[in-house]
Chain A
């Protein structure tokens, strides 16, 4: 199922505990590093880099592939993808084989065939969004930066850092 409404994204982020990040980079100027570092330091998620050129990233053991991750850690709740559109069909096949429940394609990481394949396999799919931005929208991070979170509520939410 393709998820896009705020309630759907919130439900996905609430249900997620483990995240395998395909294409996580050790270059601190890359968007993937920014998102990895945010997920590791500012959220309760258990995030793991998937990158054959890394053994670890900021002290977190890396896996060379989703298959290796699944063998060592079990099925990831969510696969977060920073890869070229031409490589996404293979990433989707790997995510399905690894037993992932959801796949998240980051900004510009768009391949309609890959999206359709993931959807048909029963995965929850998020397309052309940033998991950092959507998490920060719900947990108040965007609001601290004067950004329009779209959140309107008279209910009290937990303080930052509470999950």
Chain B
């Protein structure tokens, strides 16, 4: 009997996508394939795999069944064609950029992105000959003007970290496409549960999987998801549209069509930079994704209550309440010293450099995550000396407010 077609919902896919019962054993939970390599059926099958004609695993630096399950689940949740997992969010970003750009090329990136992205693009990639122009993405004319003939992609975050600025993705996608380049969006803070950039015109989505995807602060990871709709056969992208010396003259756009970007990202860039995700870390991220919808509901609700509580306090100068997600900043009237006293007085909130854990987290960006930026760069990134960044977790919200209340009193006394 022919079954009726059903498009499954987000929560169902968060549990099932990428993980049918293990074909080899019937295991219902995704097995952790902790192996470096995979035997070939025959020399002929091995040759087919190396020539990228057959499907199968060769070596876990290129692909692994547990990692592939995570990749497919992420692709499903973001509404993409496929995904490539990496060892961290910064590795995913690097892999995405190197799949499209080489020395002599340029990037256009939003101001106010994560400090690690500013240094990766502005320092490390610059040393490798890839020039990044940072622009205020609220100024669409400036974005348009910044895209030159050598620009290979436009990069932004859904929600600026820690500026909290929401990107106008559909306008940015329109500008990028007018100029013949893809829009690449870091969706770490929103997660696909709250916002799916591909539905707003983005071509490539990157994540730090360390944050809400893993959800429990147990592993570092990253992932690239691609929509599969960008015309990669363009002369603007010779890495995809011209014969590749890394694959015996294969033209990725011709051989793989819509899969060209994903195939090059995995089989040339990930293969050559060696920044793959481990099976154990992929498994932790898979388990995390199963509860992503439930966790995000609670993250958002707790963040709303905490932001309202802070806004009503006399010790608080300002609150940049989250427009999306549960990471936001606020400023204490007492400036930098009050910020430090506040953090030192907290009992329940963890003082550390991460976000998106089930536990509530706090940090002072000026002395930590953004300390490598100059004062000017820091202000451009939306960070003031007195600002404190919160990542609101899943605790009983009354307990979070009790702790904040105590620390605000301590900061006021300091």
State the A residues within 8 Å of B (CB): 5-8, 11, 28-29, 31, 34, 37-38, 41-42, 107, 130, 133, 136, 140-161
Contact = CB atoms under 8 A, between A and B. Distances in A.
Nearest to A151: B20
A28 to B, nearest CB: 7
A98 B17 CA distance: 41
Given A142-B82, A147-B82, 16 more contacts: A41-B54, A42-B55, A141-B54, A141-B56, A143-B68, A143-B69, A145-B55, A145-B263, A145-B266, A146-B68, A146-B71, A146-B72, A148-B80, A150-B76, A156-B22, A158-B23
Interface string B38-63: 00010011001001111111000001
21 contacts: A11-B2, A29-B249, A29-B250, A31-B254, A37-B51, A37-B53, A41-B53, A42-B45, A143-B68, A145-B63, A145-B263, A146-B63, A146-B71, A146-B75, A147-B72, A148-B81, A148-B83, A150-B76, A153-B16, A153-B20, A160-B56
B259 interface: yes
Nearest to B52: A34
Contact of A152 (B12, B69, B259): B12
Nearest to B258: A107
Given A143-B18, A153-B20, A148 B72 contact: yes
Contacts, number: 122
B385 interface: no
Category for how many chain B residues contact A:
35 or more
B109 interface: no
A67 to B, nearest CB: 29
A60 to B, nearest CB: 13
Residue of A141, A146, A154, A156 with most chain B CB atoms under a 10 A cut-off: A146
B21 A155 contact: yes
A159 B23 contact: yes
Contacts of B76: 148, 150
A146 B20 contact: no
B87 to A, nearest CB: 15
A6 B57 CA distance: 25
A130 B53 CA distance: 13
